[in-house]
Every structure is written in C-alpha cells, then in structure tokens.
Amino acid sequence: MKILVLNAGSSSQKSCLYELSNNTLPEQPPKPLWEASIDWTVASGFARLKVKANEVTQKEKWESNNRRMDIAKMLDSLSDGKTRVLEELSEIDIVGHRVVHGGAEYSEATLINPEVKEAIARLSVLAPVHNPANLEGIEAIETILGSSIPQVAVFDTAFHSQMPQKAAVYPIPYEWFEKGIRRYGFHGISHKYCAGRAAQLLGKPLDSLKLITCHLGNGCSLAAIKDGISIDTTMGFTPLEGLMMGNRSGSIDPAILIHLLKEYDFNAEQLDEMLNKNSGFKGISGISADLRTILEAIAQGNERAQLAFNIYIHRLRAAIGAMVASLGGLDALIFTAGIGENSSLVREEACAGFEFLNLKLDLNKNASSPVDKDIAAPDSAVRVLVVSTAEDWAIAQECWQILTKVRESKS
C-alpha cells in the first residue's frame, strides 16, 4: 500500500511517501521512500523545494505565484528525475493530511468528502493560518490525482475530544461554550503517537497507564493521558494557551489585554501579533525564539536570555504539576519534539521539580542523546521517556487502517 502524507504549515508544505505491506503495520516508524518540503519563506515570491529519495537530496527554487502548482511540482518529483520512486502517480493508494482544527465534530481520522471539506473551511475562523493551508493541500491532490483517490483528514484536535467537560469548558457564561468557545487542545497526533509508543517501550498496555506527554517544539503543550485518553491538556481554544513557547506567550492574565486595549490604544491585530509572534523566548530575551540561540546567549552571560529560560522552566514545571493532579498519579513523563527530544538541560530542570514524587532521572542516560529510551534511574518511582515524535507516520497508520477497512468491507 502506497500512502502519501501531507503536512501543511502556514508557510511550508511537507510531504512523504510510505510503502507498507497490506497485511501488517510495523511497530516502529519505517523510513519513508520519499520525503519533500516546500518552503515559501526563503525569499518573498519564491518557493524552495527540497526532495530526499534514493539516497539523493535535490533542491530547487523558483518564482511562485500559485501554491497549488508548486505542490504539483513537488509531487512530480515522485515519478521523475533522480528522486523517482514511482512509475506514475496513480500508484498512490491513499493520501493523508494533517488538519489542525476539527472542532467538536471530529473525534477521529475521517475519509474526506464534501461535508468534511466544508467543515474544515468553516473551522478556518478558529485556525486561520492552518486550516486554509490544509484545505489547499486537499484540493491540490484532487486536481493532481483526481477526485476518486481516497483522502483522509487526521485532526490535531481529535485526540482531546474526549476531555471531560470540567477540563474543556471555560468558566465564562455558558452560552459561549454553546457557541463553540471551549478548550479543544492541539498537537493531538503527536500526543497520541507518543503515548502509544511509550506504552510499547514500557511493555505495558496503554489502558493501564497514567502518562504526561510533553510536546516541546516551537509550539509547546502537555497532555494528561489516562488509559489512553487525553483527559487534560495545556492548549485550549487556540494553540496560544498554556506553556510559554518560542514566540507565543502561553497563558497570561486576560486583564492585561483589556488594559492594553483601554490604556494603550492597542487593537486586536496588535494584540494578536504581540502574543503569537513577539512573546515567549523571543519577547523576553529580545534575541530569538530558538532555544539553541537562547542557550548560547546564556553561556555568554546574557541575563534576559537566562530570565526567558527560567520562566520557561517555571511554567513547564507548574503545568506538569497541574497534569499530575488531573491524573491523580503518574507512571511516566514523556518528552518529545525539538526541545523535548534534544535538550537534556530542559529535561533535567523540568524533572528537578518532581523529586518529591521520587522521580529520579539517570543523568548519564539523559545526556546520551536518547531516542525512544527510558532515561529514569532504575529506582525512580516514575519512568521518564524520550520519544521521537512521528506525526507523519501516525497519519500514515490512520490511512492504512481506514483503507484496510474499506477494502475488507468490499471483499
């Protein structure tokens, strides 16, 4: 079975192709046959394509005025040139898309039909950057591969759709909940994948575990997962709530916004820009949203960079504490994404807040660039895992399951 995965961001489109056996899914993520990404940020009005396949990496840049044509060009590299892995594009069996917002309607991956497309478009008001890009990818595939190719939407909100109401409803007038102002949670594909992988690594059934997954990348969120179900998470109505992030503030007192509106003549766009683009590591340090740059500045004695790091850890520990309380216990703490997978310092500092739970890190294991490993000390009461997140693989698995069911129902 050949599965194409599309993962669209605000200014990029990543894609990969998996070839899987029709009979069983491998336990661990296999290497994709082909990987590609288009970046529309390198220079204004230009697209840059990077393709990896057949042990070859190719890069190309062109003047761009039509993103769908750029996507078509990216897919051409599947059946053309040195990165060719298919005779023709019609060999692709199914296409999976990461879709950021599925609202309250979608609690699982879904075959795309006109109704699903309409819902993704309608939910664009809640994810104005991502949902339109996701829809663009879906429509580009319809144009390139024809409308009969099965396409699947895998929603970042779906994993949190079973959160109990006490975690999902904001304490504001209830009518707003009825109008859809509620906590949705994000990064669900990653949280779900990491929870499943952690259960595999621990050799225990997922439905017997209390887990906290820490997805720490440019965007950061935690999920409290009990018996395989997300019962609490730090992101809410939008991906702005919760932890401090690269350039997002995370949670702040909402009265600050009222104050800025009333006393400083801020408007909605300026507030949006401040909280989503100029806060977090970038806003405090004044240097960068990237943790690596912050750590370099700290090494050179930069106090604002140190403050940014201290706030990040303080808020991370506080949020882990909140998730422990929601779970009423903890079997494993799981770190993933750019910071979670690579920064031994963040893991060490985060864990240092939980020695009272008898959570003990093995500092040598923590420093050893662990991938899919338990880094807790043998006598720790809580396991600590580093899991390499594999969102594209998780999307491919959903596609495999859906297409297998469709084929079974036809035979």
- Which residues carry out catalysis? 156
242 binds ligand ADP (CB under 6 A): no
For residue 228, the tally of other CB atoms under 10 A from its CB is: 17
Among residues 58, 238, 343, 404, the one that binds ligand ADP under rule CB under 6 A: 343
Task: Take residue 213 and report the two structure tokens written for it.
Answer: 């997954």
Identify which range of 230-238, 284-292, 359-367, 377-385 contacts ligand ADP by CB under 6 A. Answer: 284-292
Cα–chain-centroid distance for residue 194?
A: 11
User: Buried b / exposed e across 248-268, counting CB within 10 Å, b at 16+?
Assistant: bbbbeeeeeeeeeeeeeebee
218 binds ligand ADP (CB under 6 A): yes
291 binds ligand ADP (CB under 6 A): yes
CA–CA dist 74, 38 (Å, integer): 7
239 binds ligand ADP (CB under 6 A): no
Nearest to 232 by CA among 162, 180, 181: 162
The answer to whether the CB of 47 falls within 8 A of the CB of 38 is: yes
Among residues 61, 82, 122, 292, the one that binds ligand ADP under rule CB under 6 A: 292
Among residues 6, 92, 320, 337, the one that binds ligand ADP under rule CB under 6 A: 337
Among residues 339, 361, 375, 399, the one that binds ligand ADP under rule CB under 6 A: 339
Q: Which C-beta is closer to ligand ADP: that of 219 or that of 242?
A: 219
The answer to whether the CB of 95 falls within 8 A of the CB of 4 is: yes
12 binds ligand ADP (CB under 6 A): no
Rounded (10°) angle between helices 391-410 and 188-202: 90
222 binds ligand ADP (CB under 6 A): no
Shortest separation between residue 353's beta carbon and ligand ADP, angstroms: 19
302 binds ligand ADP (CB under 6 A): no
Report the residue number whose CB is nearest to ligand ADP: 338
185 binds ligand ADP (CB under 6 A): no
CA-to-CA dists, residue 251 to 133, 204, 245, 377, 390, angstroms: 26, 34, 10, 33, 27
Positions touching ligand ADP (CB under 6 A) are 217-219, 246, 290-292, 337-339, 342-343
